[in-house]
Structure 1
Amino acid sequence: MARRDWTEKLRVYLVTDDRPDHGEVAAIVEQALAGGVTCVQLRRKQEDGGPMLKLALRLRELASAHGALFIVNDRLDIALLSGADGVHVGQTDLPASLVKSRFPELVVGVSARSVGEAAQAEHDGADYVGVGSVYPTATKGDAVLTGLDVLAACKRAVRIPIVGIGGITVERAADVLAAGADGVAVVSAIMSAQDPKAAAAAFVGRTFMNT
C-alpha cells in the first residue's frame, strides 16, 4: 500500500475497548465504519490468542469492506494471521525496528509521549506515531498527559505522520489537527456512543473539514 493511501486513512482512527462481548465490539465497529471511520485498531490487552484472532479476522473483513486500514495493537502474531495492514506497539512492547526489518510490508505505529520517543520511533523505522494522552482520559489508567504542545513539538521533530490520542472529543478534534496531527484516535467517544455511526460521522465531518 502506497504511503499516501494509508496516511490519509489515519484521519479518523478508532481504537476498540476491552468490553467482553465480541459480537458487540464487531457491531460497534461496523457502525463506526458505516459512519466513515478510516482506520480501526484492535486493542485487547488481556485477551487470549485464539479468541482475539477470531475477532481480528472479523474486524479485518469489516475494515476491508469499507476500505479502511486495519491495525492490531501489540500482537504481531495476530496481525500477521489476520492479514492486518499493520501493528501498533508501545514503548515496552515489541521493538519497532525489529518488526519493520522482518516485516517491511506492515504499517508500524509507535506510541510516544515525548519528542525524544517520537524521534526514536522514526529512527527505528516506524511509519507513524501516536502521541498522547493529549487530554485527560479514563480509558487508559496509566496514560501520561502530554497536551497539545508536545504533539505540536513531535510534529515539528519528525517527518512521519502523527496521530493524536487520549480524551479527544468531536469538539476537541479541530484543535488536535491544528496542532499538527494528521489524524485523531478515538476510543470511548465512538465505542461508548449511543449511536456509534452518528458519532463517527461527526468526527469525519469535523476532521475532513480541516483538510
Structure 2
Amino acid sequence: MPTHPNFPFPLYLVISERDCLDKPWLWVAEQAILGGVDIIQLREKESPYAEFLAKAHALKQLCDQHRVPLVINDQVAIALEIGAWGVHVGQSDMSPSAVRKIAGDKLNIGWSLEDDAQLQSAEFGYVDQLGVSPIFATATKTDTITEWGIAGLRDLRRQTDKPLIAIGQMNFQTAGRAWHAGANSVAVVSAICQAVDPQEASKQLKEQLQ
C-alpha cells in the first residue's frame, strides 16, 4: 500500500519503558529511528503523570533532533505541553471531539477502531487517522472487541480513505501482509523494543513496507 499523503509514516514505533525490558528506552527509540522508524508514539499507561511528562519531554527532544513526529497516547495535556505532533486515543479514552475542542488544530488525532459500527460514529469526523486494533490479538492489549485479521483490514480499506495504522502482533511475519492488505502504516512494539538490535530490526521491518 502506498503511504497516505496525510500520513506518510509507514513504520510506526509504539514505545514504553516497560516494553524495552532491560534496555534503555531512549536508546531503543534512537536506534529505531536510525533503522528507519518514521513516527513514534509514547505509551505510558502505568506511569504517573509527572513521570509520563518527563519522558515525553525527553523523547520530544530526541524526535526533534531526528525530525521524527511524536504522538502521545491518551494524555492530551501532555501532548499539548510538549508540542507533540499528535495524540492517539482509544475507545475508553477522551473522545476525538473532546480532543478537538481542547486542542483545535494543534494535534493530529489518531483513534482506535475496534469494530465496523464505529465508522458510523459522530466521532469519526474528528479523526485524522485510524488505529485498526488489533489486527491479531496480543497479550499486551486485552480490552479489545474485534480481531480484524488481514481480511478485515482489507475490507476496512474499501470503506474509508482515512489513513489506516495496523496495530496488534505486527512483526516480521505479519507487517508486510498488513501493508499489502491496505494499511498505510504498521505499528510495532516488541519486534523493535525487545530486539537485540533495534536498529537492524527496524531496518528489516521497513524493507517490508515498500
The amino acid of 1:178's aligned partner reads H
Unaligned runs of 5+ in 2: none
Question: What residue is the counterpart of 1:176 in the other structure?
Answer: 178
The amino acid of 1:69's aligned partner reads P
Q: 118-127 or 139-148, which moves further after superposition? A: 118-127
Q: Secondary structure at the match of 2:70?
A: strand
Unaligned runs of 5+ in 1: none
1:129 aligns with 2:124: no
Deviations 1:37-87 (A, max 9, x none): 001000011111111111101111111222211000000011111111010
CA contact (8 A) 1:79 1:87 kept: yes
Deviations 1:144-163 (A, max 9, x none): 42212222222222221000
**Inter-CA distance 101–159: structure 2 relative to 1 (3 Å threshold):** farther
The amino acid of 2:79's aligned partner reads A
After superposition, residues 194-205 of structure 1 pair within 5 angstroms as 194-205=196-207
Deviation at 1:19, TM superposition (A): 1.2
**Inter-CA distance 205–114: structure 2 relative to 1 (3 Å threshold):** same
CA contact (8 A) 2:74 2:87 kept: yes
Whole-angstrom distance in 2 between the partners of 1:48 and 1:105: 24
Whole-angstrom distance in 2 between the partners of 1:109 and 1:137: 20
Question: What residue is the counterpart of 1:146 in the other structure?
Answer: 148
The amino acid of 1:146's aligned partner reads W
Q: CA RMSD in A?
A: 2.1
CA contact (8 A) 2:80 2:106 kept: no
Q: Secondary structure at the match of 1:92?
A: coil
After superposition, residues 100-111 of structure 1 pair within 5 angstroms as 100-103=100-103, 104-111=105-112
Deviation at 1:121, TM superposition (A): 7.2
Question: What residue is the counterpart of 1:80 in the other structure?
Answer: 80
Answer 1 or 2: higher relative contact order, Cα 8 Å, separation at least 6: 2
Q: 169-178 or 35-44, which moves further after superposition? A: 169-178
Whole-angstrom distance in 1 between the partners of 2:200 and 2:128: 30
Question: What residue is the counterpart of 2:11 in the other structure?
Answer: 12
The amino acid of 1:35's aligned partner reads G
The amino acid of 2:53's aligned partner reads L
**Inter-CA distance 118–30: structure 2 relative to 1 (3 Å threshold):** farther
Whole-angstrom distance in 1 between the partners of 2:23 and 2:138: 25
Deviation at 1:140, TM superposition (A): 1.7
Normalising by structure 1, we get a TM-score of 0.89
Aligned-residue identity in percent: 34
Deviation at 1:142, TM superposition (A): 3.1
Whole-angstrom distance in 2 between the partners of 1:121 and 1:189: 35
**Inter-CA distance 22–95: structure 2 relative to 1 (3 Å threshold):** farther
1:113 aligns with 2:114: yes
Deviation at 1:120, TM superposition (A): 2.9
The amino acid of 1:139's aligned partner reads T
**Inter-CA distance 206–162: structure 2 relative to 1 (3 Å threshold):** same
Size of the alignment, in residue pairs? 204
Q: 27-36 or 61-70, which moves further after superposition? A: 61-70
1:156 counterpart (158, 168, 172): 158
The amino acid of 1:95's aligned partner reads S
Whole-angstrom distance in 2 between the partners of 1:77 and 1:43: 14
**Inter-CA distance 190–8: structure 2 relative to 1 (3 Å threshold):** same
